Structure 1
Amino acid sequence: MTMGEWAVGRVAKRAGVKVSTLHFYESKGLIFSYRNAGNQRRYSPEVLRRISVIKAAQKLGVTLEEIREAFSSLPDNRTPTQHDWEQLSKQWNHQLQQRIHYLERLRDSLTGCIGCGCLSMKNCPLYNEDDKLAAEGSGPVLLNRKRESE
Protein backbone atom coordinates (compact mmCIF):
# COMPACT_ATOMS: atom_id res chain seq x y z
CA MET A 1 0.00 0.00 0.00
CA THR A 2 1.41 3.41 -0.96
CA MET A 3 1.17 6.57 1.16
CA GLY A 4 -1.69 7.75 -1.05
CA GLU A 5 -3.74 4.63 -0.44
CA TRP A 6 -5.67 4.18 2.78
CA ALA A 7 -7.50 0.96 3.60
CA VAL A 8 -11.10 1.24 4.76
CA GLY A 9 -10.18 0.23 8.33
CA ARG A 10 -7.51 2.92 8.59
CA VAL A 11 -9.90 5.59 7.34
CA ALA A 12 -12.65 4.44 9.71
CA LYS A 13 -10.32 4.47 12.71
CA ARG A 14 -8.78 7.85 11.86
CA ALA A 15 -12.17 9.46 11.11
CA GLY A 16 -13.86 7.96 14.17
CA VAL A 17 -16.62 6.23 12.21
CA LYS A 18 -17.57 2.63 11.52
CA VAL A 19 -16.60 0.92 8.29
CA SER A 20 -20.30 0.58 7.54
CA THR A 21 -20.59 4.37 7.80
CA LEU A 22 -17.93 4.77 5.12
CA HIS A 23 -19.79 2.35 2.87
CA PHE A 24 -23.02 4.27 3.52
CA TYR A 25 -21.39 7.63 2.75
CA GLU A 26 -19.99 6.14 -0.43
CA SER A 27 -23.39 4.78 -1.47
CA LYS A 28 -24.79 8.31 -1.04
CA GLY A 29 -22.04 9.84 -3.21
CA LEU A 30 -20.47 11.75 -0.30
CA ILE A 31 -17.07 10.05 -0.44
CA PHE A 32 -15.27 8.03 -3.09
CA SER A 33 -12.92 5.08 -3.15
CA TYR A 34 -11.15 3.18 -5.84
CA ARG A 35 -10.17 -0.47 -6.11
CA ASN A 36 -6.58 -1.66 -6.00
CA ALA A 37 -5.21 -4.59 -8.00
CA GLY A 38 -6.58 -6.98 -5.37
CA ASN A 39 -10.06 -5.39 -5.73
CA GLN A 40 -9.89 -3.88 -2.24
CA ARG A 41 -11.31 -0.45 -1.48
CA ARG A 42 -8.72 2.28 -1.12
CA TYR A 43 -9.17 5.93 -0.22
CA SER A 44 -6.98 8.95 -0.68
CA PRO A 45 -6.05 10.68 2.60
CA GLU A 46 -8.15 13.72 1.66
CA VAL A 47 -11.27 11.63 2.33
CA LEU A 48 -10.71 12.52 5.99
CA ARG A 49 -11.52 16.17 5.22
CA ARG A 50 -14.74 15.17 3.45
CA ILE A 51 -15.76 13.02 6.40
CA SER A 52 -14.95 15.84 8.82
CA VAL A 53 -17.08 18.26 6.81
CA ILE A 54 -19.91 15.71 6.74
CA LYS A 55 -19.76 15.19 10.49
CA ALA A 56 -19.55 18.93 11.24
CA ALA A 57 -22.45 19.71 8.91
CA GLN A 58 -24.57 16.94 10.42
CA LYS A 59 -23.97 18.39 13.89
CA LEU A 60 -25.40 21.64 12.53
CA GLY A 61 -28.47 19.72 11.41
CA VAL A 62 -27.63 19.73 7.70
CA THR A 63 -29.06 16.66 5.98
CA LEU A 64 -26.92 14.23 4.02
CA GLU A 65 -28.78 15.25 0.86
CA GLU A 66 -27.90 18.91 1.47
CA ILE A 67 -24.27 17.93 2.07
CA ARG A 68 -24.24 15.88 -1.14
CA GLU A 69 -25.67 18.82 -3.08
CA ALA A 70 -23.05 21.14 -1.59
CA PHE A 71 -20.23 18.74 -2.49
CA SER A 72 -21.55 18.27 -6.01
CA SER A 73 -21.53 22.05 -6.48
CA LEU A 74 -17.74 22.08 -6.11
CA PRO A 75 -15.67 21.93 -9.31
CA ASP A 76 -15.02 18.31 -10.29
CA ASN A 77 -16.75 17.27 -7.04
CA ARG A 78 -13.44 17.98 -5.30
CA THR A 79 -12.81 17.73 -1.60
CA PRO A 80 -13.72 21.05 0.05
CA THR A 81 -10.81 23.39 0.60
CA GLN A 82 -10.69 25.81 3.54
CA HIS A 83 -12.25 28.46 1.30
CA ASP A 84 -14.96 26.01 0.20
CA TRP A 85 -15.74 25.21 3.85
CA GLU A 86 -16.08 28.94 4.59
CA GLN A 87 -18.58 29.27 1.75
CA LEU A 88 -20.49 26.14 2.72
CA SER A 89 -20.67 27.20 6.34
CA LYS A 90 -22.09 30.59 5.31
CA GLN A 91 -24.83 28.79 3.37
CA TRP A 92 -25.66 26.64 6.37
CA ASN A 93 -25.43 29.49 8.89
CA HIS A 94 -28.90 30.76 7.97
CA GLN A 95 -30.40 27.31 8.52
CA LEU A 96 -28.63 27.07 11.86
CA GLN A 97 -29.98 30.47 12.95
CA GLN A 98 -33.51 29.36 12.06
CA ARG A 99 -33.09 26.19 14.12
CA ILE A 100 -31.74 28.18 17.06
CA HIS A 101 -34.76 30.51 16.97
CA TYR A 102 -37.12 27.55 16.74
CA LEU A 103 -35.44 25.82 19.68
CA GLU A 104 -35.64 29.05 21.70
CA ARG A 105 -39.38 29.27 20.99
CA LEU A 106 -39.76 25.61 21.94
CA ARG A 107 -37.83 26.15 25.18
CA ASP A 108 -39.93 29.19 26.06
CA SER A 109 -43.20 27.37 25.25
CA LEU A 110 -42.34 23.98 26.66
CA THR A 111 -44.50 24.23 29.78
CA GLY A 112 -47.39 26.07 28.18
CA CYS A 113 -49.62 25.88 25.17
CA ILE A 114 -47.93 25.55 21.80
CA GLY A 115 -51.12 25.99 19.81
CA CYS A 116 -51.56 22.40 18.67
CA GLY A 117 -55.34 22.45 19.02
CA CYS A 118 -55.57 19.61 21.54
CA LEU A 119 -57.77 21.68 23.88
CA SER A 120 -56.58 19.60 26.84
CA MET A 121 -54.89 22.23 28.99
CA LYS A 122 -56.88 24.47 31.33
CA ASN A 123 -54.52 27.37 30.63
CA CYS A 124 -54.46 26.79 26.87
CA PRO A 125 -55.51 29.87 24.88
CA LEU A 126 -57.25 27.51 22.49
CA TYR A 127 -59.53 26.17 25.23
CA ASN A 128 -62.65 27.47 23.53
CA GLU A 129 -65.13 26.28 20.98
CA ASP A 130 -63.96 28.62 18.26
CA ASP A 131 -60.34 27.39 18.02
CA LYS A 132 -59.32 30.70 16.47
CA LEU A 133 -55.73 29.64 15.82
CA ALA A 134 -56.91 26.90 13.47
CA ALA A 135 -57.19 29.61 10.81
CA GLU A 136 -53.39 30.04 11.05
CA GLY A 137 -52.65 26.44 10.17
CA SER A 138 -52.24 23.02 11.64
CA GLY A 139 -49.82 21.74 14.25
CA PRO A 140 -48.14 23.84 16.94
CA VAL A 141 -49.31 27.20 15.63
CA LEU A 142 -47.99 29.33 18.49
CA LEU A 143 -44.63 27.62 18.44
CA ASN A 144 -44.30 28.12 14.69
CA ARG A 145 -45.11 31.82 14.82
CA LYS A 146 -42.20 34.10 14.16
CA ARG A 147 -41.19 36.36 17.02
CA GLU A 148 -41.57 40.08 16.61
CA SER A 149 -37.76 40.44 16.78
CA GLU A 150 -37.11 38.05 13.88
Structure 2
Amino acid sequence: MTKSEKIKELQGLSVGEVAERSGVAISALHFYEAEGLIESWRNGGNHRRYSRDVLRRIAVIRVAQRAGVPLKEIAEALKTLPQKRTPNAKDWARLSARWKSELDARIEALTRLRDELTGCIGCGCLSLKACPLRNPGDQLAIGGSGPILLSGRVDS
Protein backbone atom coordinates (compact mmCIF):
# COMPACT_ATOMS: atom_id res chain seq x y z
CA MET A 1 0.00 0.00 0.00
CA THR A 2 1.40 3.37 -0.97
CA LYS A 3 1.66 6.27 1.45
CA SER A 4 -1.27 8.09 -0.20
CA GLU A 5 -3.38 4.92 -0.01
CA LYS A 6 -2.57 4.61 3.71
CA ILE A 7 -3.55 8.23 4.28
CA LYS A 8 -6.81 7.71 2.34
CA GLU A 9 -7.55 4.60 4.44
CA LEU A 10 -7.01 6.56 7.67
CA GLN A 11 -9.24 9.36 6.41
CA GLY A 12 -11.99 6.91 5.58
CA LEU A 13 -14.78 7.21 3.06
CA SER A 14 -17.35 9.98 3.12
CA VAL A 15 -21.02 9.10 3.31
CA GLY A 16 -21.38 10.19 -0.32
CA GLU A 17 -18.53 7.92 -1.43
CA VAL A 18 -20.05 4.96 0.42
CA ALA A 19 -23.47 5.68 -1.08
CA GLU A 20 -22.03 5.92 -4.59
CA ARG A 21 -19.85 2.83 -4.33
CA SER A 22 -22.46 0.66 -2.61
CA GLY A 23 -25.49 1.84 -4.56
CA VAL A 24 -27.34 2.54 -1.30
CA ALA A 25 -29.02 5.86 -0.53
CA ILE A 26 -27.44 8.09 2.10
CA SER A 27 -30.64 7.86 4.14
CA ALA A 28 -30.32 4.05 4.11
CA LEU A 29 -26.73 4.33 5.34
CA HIS A 30 -27.87 6.53 8.22
CA PHE A 31 -30.63 4.01 8.99
CA TYR A 32 -28.18 1.07 8.90
CA GLU A 33 -25.93 2.97 11.28
CA ALA A 34 -28.79 3.80 13.65
CA GLU A 35 -29.72 0.10 13.68
CA GLY A 36 -26.14 -0.92 14.49
CA LEU A 37 -25.51 -2.65 11.16
CA ILE A 38 -22.58 -0.40 10.25
CA GLU A 39 -20.53 2.20 12.08
CA SER A 40 -18.73 5.42 11.32
CA TRP A 41 -16.69 8.04 13.11
CA ARG A 42 -16.46 11.80 12.90
CA ASN A 43 -13.36 13.53 11.54
CA GLY A 44 -11.97 16.87 12.73
CA GLY A 45 -14.52 18.73 10.60
CA ASN A 46 -17.33 16.67 12.21
CA HIS A 47 -18.02 14.83 8.94
CA ARG A 48 -19.13 11.21 9.08
CA ARG A 49 -16.43 8.79 7.83
CA TYR A 50 -16.50 5.05 7.15
CA SER A 51 -13.75 2.48 6.90
CA ARG A 52 -13.58 0.53 3.65
CA ASP A 53 -14.84 -2.69 5.25
CA VAL A 54 -18.28 -1.08 5.43
CA LEU A 55 -18.69 -1.66 1.68
CA ARG A 56 -18.56 -5.44 2.14
CA ARG A 57 -20.84 -5.24 5.17
CA ILE A 58 -23.38 -3.31 3.09
CA ALA A 59 -23.13 -5.95 0.36
CA VAL A 60 -23.87 -8.65 2.95
CA ILE A 61 -26.83 -6.63 4.25
CA ARG A 62 -28.27 -6.13 0.78
CA VAL A 63 -27.93 -9.79 -0.25
CA ALA A 64 -29.51 -10.94 3.01
CA GLN A 65 -32.36 -8.45 2.57
CA ARG A 66 -33.00 -9.69 -0.97
CA ALA A 67 -33.25 -13.20 0.47
CA GLY A 68 -35.94 -11.95 2.85
CA VAL A 69 -33.89 -11.97 6.04
CA PRO A 70 -35.21 -9.35 8.50
CA LEU A 71 -32.82 -6.54 9.44
CA LYS A 72 -32.93 -7.59 13.10
CA GLU A 73 -31.53 -11.01 12.18
CA ILE A 74 -28.94 -9.43 9.88
CA ALA A 75 -27.81 -7.17 12.73
CA GLU A 76 -27.49 -10.15 15.09
CA ALA A 77 -25.41 -12.02 12.53
CA LEU A 78 -23.16 -9.04 11.83
CA LYS A 79 -22.46 -8.71 15.56
CA THR A 80 -20.60 -12.03 15.32
CA LEU A 81 -18.07 -10.48 12.92
CA PRO A 82 -15.04 -8.63 14.21
CA GLN A 83 -15.27 -4.87 13.71
CA LYS A 84 -12.82 -3.19 11.36
CA ARG A 85 -12.38 -6.32 9.27
CA THR A 86 -13.89 -6.96 5.89
CA PRO A 87 -16.21 -9.98 5.98
CA ASN A 88 -14.71 -12.76 3.87
CA ALA A 89 -16.08 -15.86 2.11
CA LYS A 90 -15.80 -17.95 5.28
CA ASP A 91 -17.77 -15.32 7.21
CA TRP A 92 -20.46 -15.28 4.53
CA ALA A 93 -20.72 -19.08 4.53
CA ARG A 94 -21.25 -19.04 8.30
CA LEU A 95 -23.79 -16.19 8.15
CA SER A 96 -25.77 -17.61 5.25
CA ALA A 97 -25.92 -21.06 6.87
CA ARG A 98 -27.84 -19.44 9.75
CA TRP A 99 -30.58 -18.40 7.34
CA LYS A 100 -30.71 -21.44 5.04
CA SER A 101 -33.29 -23.55 6.93
CA GLU A 102 -35.58 -20.56 7.42
CA LEU A 103 -35.36 -19.72 3.71
CA ASP A 104 -36.03 -23.35 2.78
CA ALA A 105 -39.16 -23.32 4.98
CA ARG A 106 -40.32 -20.06 3.43
CA ILE A 107 -39.79 -21.44 -0.08
CA GLU A 108 -41.76 -24.58 0.80
CA ALA A 109 -44.62 -22.52 2.27
CA LEU A 110 -44.74 -20.22 -0.77
CA THR A 111 -44.67 -23.17 -3.16
CA ARG A 112 -47.54 -24.81 -1.28
CA LEU A 113 -49.46 -21.51 -1.29
CA ARG A 114 -48.91 -21.12 -5.05
CA ASP A 115 -50.12 -24.65 -5.72
CA GLU A 116 -53.21 -24.29 -3.51
CA LEU A 117 -54.02 -20.81 -4.78
CA THR A 118 -54.74 -22.02 -8.30
CA GLY A 119 -57.45 -24.43 -7.17
CA CYS A 120 -59.02 -21.97 -4.78
CA ILE A 121 -59.39 -19.07 -7.19
CA GLY A 122 -61.41 -21.24 -9.59
CA CYS A 123 -64.12 -22.14 -7.11
CA GLY A 124 -64.36 -18.80 -5.34
CA CYS A 125 -65.91 -20.42 -2.25
CA LEU A 126 -63.36 -19.42 0.39
CA SER A 127 -65.14 -21.86 2.68
CA LEU A 128 -63.79 -21.54 6.20
CA LYS A 129 -63.98 -25.31 6.58
CA ALA A 130 -62.46 -26.32 3.26
CA CYS A 131 -60.24 -23.43 2.18
CA PRO A 132 -56.58 -24.47 2.38
CA LEU A 133 -55.52 -20.80 2.22
CA ARG A 134 -57.65 -19.23 4.94
CA ASN A 135 -58.19 -22.20 7.23
CA PRO A 136 -55.78 -25.06 6.47
CA GLY A 137 -56.86 -28.30 8.12
CA ASP A 138 -59.87 -26.52 9.66
CA GLN A 139 -57.64 -25.07 12.41
CA LEU A 140 -60.27 -22.49 13.30
CA ALA A 141 -62.59 -25.24 14.59
CA ILE A 142 -60.46 -25.33 17.75
CA GLY A 143 -61.83 -21.89 18.66
CA GLY A 144 -65.44 -23.05 18.54
CA SER A 145 -68.32 -22.20 16.27
CA GLY A 146 -69.43 -18.82 15.00
CA PRO A 147 -67.49 -15.83 13.68
CA ILE A 148 -64.20 -16.75 15.32
CA LEU A 149 -62.12 -14.37 13.21
CA LEU A 150 -64.42 -11.44 13.90
CA SER A 151 -64.74 -12.14 17.61
CA GLY A 152 -60.99 -11.94 18.21
CA ARG A 153 -60.87 -15.38 19.79
CA VAL A 154 -58.27 -16.51 17.22
CA ASP A 155 -55.52 -14.53 15.50
CA SER A 156 -56.14 -14.24 11.78
Q: Same fold (TM over 0.5)?
A: yes
TM-score interval w.r.t. the shorter chain? Answer: 0.7 to 0.9
What residue number does 2:154 align with?
none
Give distance in 2, aligned partners of 1:12 and 1:63. 21
Q: Which runs of 5+ in 2 are unaligned?
A: 150-156
What residue number does 1:121 align with?
125
SS in 1 for 2:119: coil
Identity %: 51
Q: Which has the higher helix share?
A: 2
Give distance in 1, aligned partners of 2:93 and 2:37. 18
Deviations 1:107-128 (A, max 9, x none): 10113349xxxxx707x4826x
- The answer to whether the aligner puts 1:111 opposite 2:118 as a matched pair is yes
Query: How do 1:57-76 residues align onto structure 2 when only pairs under 5 Å count?
Result: 57-75=64-82
- The answer to whether the aligner puts 1:49 opposite 2:52 as a matched pair is no
Give distance in 2, aligned partners of 1:23 and 1:108. 41
Q: CA RMSD in A?
A: 2.8
Contact 2:13 2:52 in 1 (8 A): yes
Per the normalisation by structure 2, the TM-score is 0.72
Q: Which runs of 5+ in 1 are unaligned?
A: 115-119, 140-150
Deviations 1:35-78 (A, max 9, x none): 11101000011100000000000111111100111111234585
What residue number does 2:141 align with?
135
How many residues in Structure 1 have an aligned counterpart in Structure 2?
Answer: 130
Per the normalisation by structure 1, the TM-score is 0.75
Give distance in 2, aligned partners of 1:75 and 1:7. 22
What residue number does 1:39 align with?
46
Give distance in 2, aligned partners of 1:76 and 1:32. 9
